[in-house]
Amino acid sequence: MGLEIGTNAMAMDAIAARLAADFAAALTDVRVQEPDTVVARCARAALKDVARRLKAHPEIGYETLNFVAGVDSVRHFESVYHVYSWKTNTYLELHVEVPKAKAELDTVCDVWPAADWHEREAWDMLGIKYLGHPDLRRILLKDDFVGHPLRKDYIDSAENHPHA
Partner 1 sequence: MPDQFATPAPDEAVKLALRRIEESTARGEGSNVEGLAFNEVVVNMGPQHPSTHGVLRLVVTLDGELVKDVIPVIGYLHRCKEKLAEKRTYYQYIPIVDRTEYVAGMNCEWGYVMTVEKLAGIRPPRRAELIRVIMAELNRIASHQVAVGTFTADLAPLGTAMVFYMFRDREHILDLLEEVSGARMMFNYFRFGGLRYDLPDGWVEKCRDLMKRLPKLIDEYESLVQDNAIFLQRCVGKGVITQQDVIDYGITGPCARASGVAHDLRRTRPYSVYPELDFEVCTQSHGDVFDRYQVRMDEMRESVKIVEQALDMLPKGPVQLGSLRAPYVITPPPGACYTAQENPRGEYGTYIVSDGSRYPYRLKFRDPCFCNLQLFPKLLRGNKIADAVAISGSIDLVLGGIDR
Partner 2 sequence: MGLMRYPKLEHFQEPNVITTTADFIFSWARSHSVFPFTYGLACCAIEMLSSGFARFDVARYGMEVFRPTPRQCDLMIVAGTVNEKMAPVLKRLYEQMSEPRWVIAMGACATSGGPFYDGYNVVNGVDKVVPVDVYIPGCPPRPEALFQGLLELQVKIQQHKFVAETPKPAARDAQPAAVTPPAAAAEGA
- Residues near partner 2 (CB under 8 A) are 141-142, 145, 149, 154, 156, 160-164
b/e code 100-133 from CB counts within 10 Å (16+ = b): eeebebbbbbebbebbbebbbbbbbbbbbbbeeb
Can you list the alpha helix ranges (DSSP code H) found in 2-155? 12-22, 47-56, 115-126
| Closer of 76 and 86 to partner 1 (Cβ) | 86
| Closer of 34 and 143 to partner 2 (Cβ) | 143
What number of other Cβ atoms are within 10 A of residue 52's Cβ? 13
Window 49-68: residues binding partner 1 (CB under 8 A): 63-67
Which does residue 72 touch among partner 1, partner 2, none (CB within 5 to 8 A, set by kind)? partner 1
Instruction: Give the residues across from 98 on adjacent strands.
Output: 77
Amino acid sitting at position 74: V
Cα(28)–Cα(26) distance, integer angstroms = 6
Size of the site for partner 1 (CB under 8 A): 39
Handedness of CA 135, 43, 49, 67 (dihedral sign): negative
Window 77-136: residues binding partner 1 (CB under 8 A): 80, 82, 84, 86, 89, 91, 93, 112-114, 116-117, 125, 135
Which does residue 46 touch among partner 2, partner 1, none (CB within 5 to 8 A, set by kind)? none
Longest CA–CA separation in the chain, Å: 56
| Closer of 27 and 68 to partner 1 (Cβ) | 68
Binding stretches for partner 1 (CB under 8 A): 1-3, 5-6, 33, 36-37, 63-67, 69, 71-72, 80, 82, 84, 86, 89, 91, 93, 112-114, 116-117, 125, 135, 137-143, 149-150
